[in-house]
Amino acid sequence: VTTFEETPIMSTYSLAFTVSDFKSKTRHSGTIIHVSHKIKLHKITCRVCFITDQIALPDISVEAMENWGFISYQESGLLYDKSTASTFDQERVATLIAHELAHQWFGNLVTMRWWNDLWLNEGFATYMSYIGVQADGWDLRDLIVLRETQTAFQVDSLNSSHPLRLQENDIQTFSEITELFDDITYSKGAAVLRMLATFMTEDAFMRGIKMYLAKFEYKNTVYKDLLKCLQEIMTNVSHNDQETKEDLEGFMSTWIEQVGYPVITIITQTGETSQEHFLLKQTQGHEPHFQLQDKDEWLLANVNCAGFFRVNYDEENWNKLRMQLERYHHVIPIINRGQLIDDAFNIARAHRLNVTIALSLTKYLVNDTEYIPWESALKNLDHLILMFDRSEVYGPITKYLRNLITRLYDHFEEYTINGTVPEKHTDQYNQVNAISVACSNGLTKCITMAKSLFEDYKNGTNDIHPNLRKAIYCSAIASGDEYDWEFAWMEYQRATVAAEKDKLRYALSCTKEIWLLNRYLQYTIDSSKIRKMDMFSTINYIAKNVAGQPLAWDFVREHWSYITQEYGAGVVSLGSLLDAVTKRFSTEREQEEKNQGLAARALEQVIERTEANIKWVKENKQIVKDWFTGELSVN
């Protein structure tokens, strides 16, 4: 008989206890409980840690759960092994811990009244994870724009998206609740809070948060309770400044209760500014025409992308911005260099801008080594590749990318060859970009380097730096044979640390051999081979591979009833699975193949996106092809 102490007043969903024979490890900051004594834990310097138990579980479907005082994680979310973890793995562990710890206040101490305000929990924990990790000395705060804002922009450009906060009545069933654990709730929630904090100043924002937590501890709230506390701080700060006496509740409620976000169009010649709801699928496209004045000055709006909106300009201003980037890009803040590219490509996808303007903005990247602009460009070029990698446009795109990436590859080559690590975290990420883009677009010296390191690995010495393993394993397997694949599969089965296992599991999806990919797909429904929790992400990896995508789509349809049976309709990752296997869809035949009865909102979003893709590809294929071909003939 175990007798428990009485808990504080708390929500039932955050109660948990465990029965296990795990070993525990107590540290100043609490207890970490884990499965295997083979794994040595290294200290993650942790200023955000405090007294709470944390447990790593071998097979759970969610990344982590913030149960009060007893946080549970997937192994790879908590256990950090220095010899196999990349900087990215370390960041993931750190941000996940920070996210779950933030929930101890936002969610556990103060709980939303009902699930329709879930964004209060998840948006806040996501926002705070960047602040927490930054406080620990990681200079990653700006990445919130790449990881959250841009992610939210994608899904929120669909009419089938949903507002941050829905009506209580609309969220009643289990599947309605689980469907809410999506990119809107997490990423848009975080992006909108960042906008609010920037508007108020972060200091005032934090004071408002403290007031809110103190006022409502052990109670339930709706989002307006939060806004009222923030309003009070604002009013105190600006008592003698009329201009900043803003009605917070008034202006924030539109961001919170309405679906989507605006695109602001600025006509620099006239100063005319207008805003419209930004939707990927426009009922009618339009492109402004104006008279041009011969001034060199350009205009840049939404500095550091603090506002949750996109900005469009007249073509003349876009061109001036491009010329500035080519002349001396440092004048434009790093976040905006990325955001200009992301805005241009997406505004072009919505037929509001000529795609050649977006493409031209990528040319200056030969001279930029920063991660945020590159990552933004690669994400968007990736989308272009998804649309065209089964067509004749793919050849010119690959050549262009190979030319574009060569300088970046060279920039990091000494590190790559020496096995040393650039100092800045974002440089480490961009080194990985350089290798994976160079190798996958056929830069010979990259492929030679990857194959040779992989050969050494097969011969018994794995000298590949953990940061580079995913990219190098993948390149070697993509250009390798059956024996390389078998070797990686053996290594996967042998590996005991989740971070290393995950790298190999990803790399196995990179082969171009159809029969190996089909075999790998079969493994995903055999839990003795691929753990249940890894099934979705493994299928997603395979679908990302151009050779694997049709196989993954067939596989998912064939096993749909098994998958829904095992995972339950409406489960979070079902939507993301559907999303992943259909990302490339851009033909009418593919649209017709989609079945009914899948995760409802996710399906609607997939259909809407495919319709937009079909239309866009039809209109832009020749233009895109001509642009890339033209660029190649210039060089």
Ligand X SMILES: *[C@@H]1O[C@H](CO)[C@@H](O)[C@H](O)[C@H]1NC(C)=O
Q: Which residues bind ligand X (CB under 6 A)?
A: 159, 283, 326, 363-364, 366-367, 414-415, 418, 420, 455-456, 459
Shortest spacing between CB 629 and ligand X, in angstroms: 18
Segment near Zn ion (CB under 5 A); pick from 55-63, 117-125, 322-330, 478-486: 117-125
| 330 is an annotated ligand-binding site residue | no
Q: Which two tokens stand for residue 502?
A: 């995950």
Assess 94 for contact with Zn ion (CB under 5 A).
Answer: no
Rounded to an integer, what distance in angstroms lies between the CA atom of residue 69 and that of residue 455? 47
Rounded to an integer, what distance in angstroms lies between the CA atom of residue 524 and that of residue 210? 46
Assess 152 for contact with Zn ion (CB under 5 A).
Answer: no
Assess 280 for contact with Zn ion (CB under 5 A).
Answer: no
CB under 5 to 8 A by kind: which of Zn ion, ligand X, none does 125 bind? Zn ion
CB under 5 to 8 A by kind: which of Zn ion, ligand X, none does 588 bind? none
Shortest spacing between CB 121 and Zn ion, in angstroms: 6
Using CB under 5 A as the binding rule, the residues of this chain from 233 to 252 that contact Zn ion are none
Residue number with CB closer to ligand X (414 or 481): 414
Rounded to an integer, what distance in angstroms lies between the CA atom of residue 420 and that of residue 414? 8
| 28 is an annotated ligand-binding site residue | no
Instruction: Identify the bridge partners of residue 74 per DSSP, sorted by sequence position.
Output: 57
Apex CA 99: angle with CA 97 and CA 101, to 5°?
65
Shortest spacing between CB 314 and ligand X, in angstroms: 22
Rounded to an integer, what distance in angstroms lies between the CA atom of residue 446 and that of residue 442? 8
Task: Give the CB-side neighbour count of residue 528, counting CA atoms within 13 A.
Answer: 0
Instruction: Identify the bridge partners of residue 24 per DSSP, sorted by sequence position.
Output: 33
Angle (deg, nearest 10), helices 482-494 and 466-478: 150
CB under 5 to 8 A by kind: which of ligand X, Zn ion, none does 159 bind? ligand X
Shortest spacing between CB 160 and ligand X, in angstroms: 7
Residue number with CB closer to ligand X (61 or 160): 160
Identify which of 329, 297, 330, 333 has the alpha carbon closest to the alpha carbon of residue 313: 297
Rounded to an integer, what distance in angstroms lies between the CA atom of residue 605 and that of residue 502? 29
Segment near Zn ion (CB under 5 A); pick from 24-32, 116-124, 233-241, 255-263: 116-124
Active site residues: 100
Assess 125 for contact with Zn ion (CB under 5 A).
Answer: yes
CB under 5 to 8 A by kind: which of ligand X, Zn ion, none does 366 bind? ligand X
CB under 5 to 8 A by kind: which of ligand X, Zn ion, none does 287 bind? none
Residue number with CB closer to ligand X (411 or 529): 411
Shortest spacing between CB 253 and ligand X, in angstroms: 19
CB under 5 to 8 A by kind: which of ligand X, Zn ion, none does 374 bind? none
CB under 5 to 8 A by kind: which of ligand X, Zn ion, none does 522 bind? none
Residue number with CB closer to ligand X (389 or 413): 413
Residue number with CB closer to ligand X (207 or 322): 322
* β-pair type (70-74, 52-57): parallel
Residue number with CB closer to ligand X (202 or 455): 455
Segments in 145-259 forming alpha helices (H)? 150-155, 174-179, 183, 189-200, 202-215, 223-237, 248-257
Terminal Cα-to-Cα distance of the chain (whole angstroms): 78
Rounded to an integer, what distance in angstroms lies between the CA atom of residue 188 and that of residue 203? 21
Rounded to an integer, what distance in angstroms lies between the CA atom of residue 95 and that of residue 136? 10
Exposure string of 76-100, with b = 16+ CB inside 10 Å and e = fewer, is bbbbbbeebbbbbbbbbbbbbbbbb
Segment near Zn ion (CB under 5 A); pick from 40-48, 115-123, 211-219, 446-454: 115-123
For residue 26, the 8-state DSSP code is E
Residue number with CB closer to ligand X (186 or 415): 415
Shortest spacing between CB 420 and ligand X, in angstroms: 4
Residue number with CB closer to Zn ion (125 or 543): 125
Angle (deg, nearest 10), helices 371-388 and 334-349: 20
Identify which of 305, 270, 302, 301 has the alpha carbon closest to the alpha carbon of residue 288: 270
79 three-state secondary structure: coil
Shortest spacing between CB 350 and ligand X, in angstroms: 12
CB under 5 to 8 A by kind: which of ligand X, Zn ion, none does 254 bind? none
Using CB under 5 A as the binding rule, the residues of this chain from 345 to 404 that contact Zn ion are none
Identify which of 588, 513, 525 has the alpha carbon closest to the alpha carbon of residue 551: 513
| 103 is an annotated ligand-binding site residue | yes
Residue nearest Zn ion (C-beta atom) = 125
Task: Give the CB-side neighbour count of residue 46, counting CA atoms within 13 A.
Answer: 25
Shortest spacing between CB 245 and ligand X, in angstroms: 35
Q: Which two tokens stand for residue 320?
A: 């001036």
Residues touching Zn ion, count (CB under 5 A): 2
Exposure string of 347-364, with b = 16+ CB inside 10 Å and e = fewer, is bbbbbbbbbebbbbbbeb
Please give the residue ranges that form the binding site for Zn ion (CB under 5 A).
Answer: 122, 125
Question: Which residues participate in the annotated binding site for Zn(2+)?
Answer: 99, 103, 122
Question: Which residues participate in the annotated binding site?
Answer: 99, 103, 122
